[in-house]
């Protein structure tokens, strides 16, 4: 594979950083009283810790400062420590790509330092069993996962951040898909995936950031990634707080946030007070079916995004982009994508609440076909160990639904077929099973609405049930 030498260097540096982070024997989070000061001055990950007597109950003890080259076992409590500015939230780089969520959100992560480097590790594993009804319904036992390692260091007048995100989906999802009624997007064994969701690539992100804080209200940012997330769409559903307990992909994925794994991403951004403007160039083709490699291609697509965060509890974005030949089965078709989203989050006693409203729209630049998707989702963590959530979707679907698992016929033209509704509700409960990890057992049910013309294909009242075990780092960092 031929790729620019600087991208090879980025890959090597990021993998080294991720390996160093994931092999560290201890973890630490910060003292909330100093974290606010650190965010105000834009220092990214703070070098203070707070020791927790019982991490699951978030009962705090005394505070101390962690010396350099040392690490402390700790978990921060859930009381409110929020970034003072949008720039402070951006400098944390806790999401994928350059996405921004409300600054008041907790992030389940381990933190530690070595020398002048600050490290962060977080991620999640779902082990799922899905059962679906009707002629098209499937059942499967499968897993999903992602793991992120990040390193930060002051460099010149700004801050350098390296980040790697990996997923074991290619090993945990057999046959290149898991069942999901009415889902469309990408291919498996040369055929379009219908009623199924593709696994994510092993390399979800390999990226480097440089942020230069000119003063309290002005921040210039640069992002380069051989695999990464351009400035298009809301935070992707695997990393969105309002979807943190839901293991299943949103039906509107390929109209909202599917570019969260793109190739050859370059982004520049400018932040002033509560507003941020970004522009990106990237390779528009979706990942191929080989989920273990790093794809390559010319920068042939673009995107621009405006983010507004008037307070730590609110964040919204509007983005527009052109994707060059995103689908392998329609190589001559380019798409114009437009998205808008609003996220709201707030800490509560012994928990937090996060909600999102998302709109995504694709327009074919060849046929003029327009497809829309609408989403509302909300997750409430309460009484320390419990979570409930809902997801409501209304999405346009094409005549690919009628193909099932069959190949596209010659001269097939994709066009609007039906509007589908999906209503999901779920609950999980945390248990102390693995030291230093949060383990939850949960379930969710999804009921679908559709036109009567699809009754013969899907049955009168299709539905699905998922039971799962979820594992992630214990504790919450703000």
- Given the structure tokens 């290619």, which residue do they identify? 170
Q: Where are the beta strands (DSSP E) in 156-286?
A: 158-166, 178-188, 191-197, 203-215, 218-228, 262-272, 275-283
How many C-beta neighbours within 10 Å does residue 155 have?
12
Q: In this predicted structure, what is the pLDDT of residue 81?
A: 54
Q: Please work out, in degrees rounded to the nearest 5, the angle formed at the alpha carbon of residue 410 by the alpha carbons of 407 and 413.
A: 90
CB 302 within 8 A of CB 284: no
What is the pTM assigned to this prediction? Answer: 0.84
Rounded Cα distance, 449 and 451, in Å: 7
Q: In this predicted structure, what is the pLDDT of residue 69?
A: 37
Rounded Cα distance, 361 and 375, in Å: 12
Q: In this predicted structure, what is the pLDDT of residue 29?
A: 38
DSSP per position, 263-284: EEEEEEEEEETTEEEEEEEEE-
Residue 11 neighbours by CB under 8 Å, 6+ apart: 206, 226, 294
Rounded Cα distance, 264 and 257, in Å: 17
> What is the pLDDT tens value at each position of the chain, 478 positions in all?
444 444 545 445 444 544 444 443 333 333 433 333 343 344 444 433 333 333 334 333 333 333 333 333 333 333 345 666 899 999 999 889 999 999 898 888 898 999 999 999 999 999 999 999 999 999 999 999 999 999 999 999 999 999 999 999 999 999 999 999 999 999 999 999 999 999 999 999 999 999 999 998 999 999 999 999 999 999 999 999 999 999 999 999 999 999 999 999 999 999 999 999 999 999 999 999 999 999 989 999 999 999 999 999 999 999 999 999 999 999 999 999 999 999 999 999 999 999 999 999 999 999 999 999 999 999 999 999 999 999 999 999 999 999 988 899 988 999 999 999 999 999 999 998 999 899 999 999 999 999 999 999 999 999 999 999 999 998 654 4
Distance of CA 22 to the CA centre of its chain: 20
């Amino acid at each position: 594979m031929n790729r620019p030498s600087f991208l090879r260097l980025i890959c090597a540096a990021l993998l080294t950083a991720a390996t160093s982070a994931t092999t560290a024997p201890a973890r630490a989070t910060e003292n909330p009283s100093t974290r606010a000061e650190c965010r105000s001055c834009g220092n990214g990950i703070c070098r203070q810790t707070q020791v927790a007597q019982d991490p699951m109950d978030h009962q705090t003890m005394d505070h101390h400062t962690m010396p350099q080259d040392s690490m402390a076992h700790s978990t921060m409590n859930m009381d409110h420590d929020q970034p003072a500015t949008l720039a402070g939230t951006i400098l944390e780089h806790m999401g994928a790509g350059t996405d921004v969520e409300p600054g008041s959100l907790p992030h389940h992560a381990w933190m530690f330092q070595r020398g002048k480097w600050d490290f962060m590790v977080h991620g999640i594993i779902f082990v799922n069993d899905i059962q679906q009804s009707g002629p098209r319904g499937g059942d499967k036992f499968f897993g999903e996962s992602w793991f992120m390692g990040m390193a930060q260091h002051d460099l010149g007048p700004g801050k350098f951040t390296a980040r790697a995100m990996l997923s074991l989906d290619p090993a945990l999802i057999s046959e290149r898909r898991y069942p999901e009624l009415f889902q469309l997007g990408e291919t498996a064994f040369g055929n379009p995936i219908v009623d199924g969701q593709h696994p994510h690539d092993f390399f979800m992100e390999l990226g480097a950031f440089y942020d230069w804080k000119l003063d309290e209200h002005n921040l210039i940012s640069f992002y380069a990634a051989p695999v990464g997330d351009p400035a298009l769409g809301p935070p992707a559903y695997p990393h969105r707080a309002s979807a943190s307990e839901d293991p299943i992909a949103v039906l509107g994925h390929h109209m909202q946030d599917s570019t969260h794994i793109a190739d050859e991403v370059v982004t520049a951004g400018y932040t002033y007070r509560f507003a941020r403007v970004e522009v990106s160039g990237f390779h528009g083709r979706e990942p191929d079916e080989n989920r273990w490699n790093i794809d390559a291609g010319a920068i042939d697509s673009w995107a621009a995004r405006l983010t507004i965060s008037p307070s730590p509890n609110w964040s919204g974005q509007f983005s527009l982009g052109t994707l060059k030949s995103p689908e392998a089965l329609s190589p001559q078709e380019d798409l114009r994508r437009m998205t808008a989203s609003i996220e709201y989050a707030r800490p509560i006693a012994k928990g937090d609440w996060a909600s999102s409203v998302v709109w995504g729209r694709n327009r074919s630049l060849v046929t003029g076909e327009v497809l829309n998707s609408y989403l509302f989702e909300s997750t409430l963590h309460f009484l320390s160990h419990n979570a409930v959530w809902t997801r409501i979707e209304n999405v346009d679907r094409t005549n690919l639904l009628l193909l099932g698992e069959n190949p596209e016929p010659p001269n097939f033209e994709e066009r609007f077929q039906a509007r589908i509704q999906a209503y999901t509700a779920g609950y999980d409960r945390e248990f102390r099973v693995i030291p230093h990890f949060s383990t939850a057992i949960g379930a969710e049910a999804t009921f679908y609405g559709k036109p009567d013309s699809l009754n013969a294909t899907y049955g009168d009242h299709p539905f699905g049930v998922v039971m799962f075990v979820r594992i992630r780092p214990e504790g919450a960092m703000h």
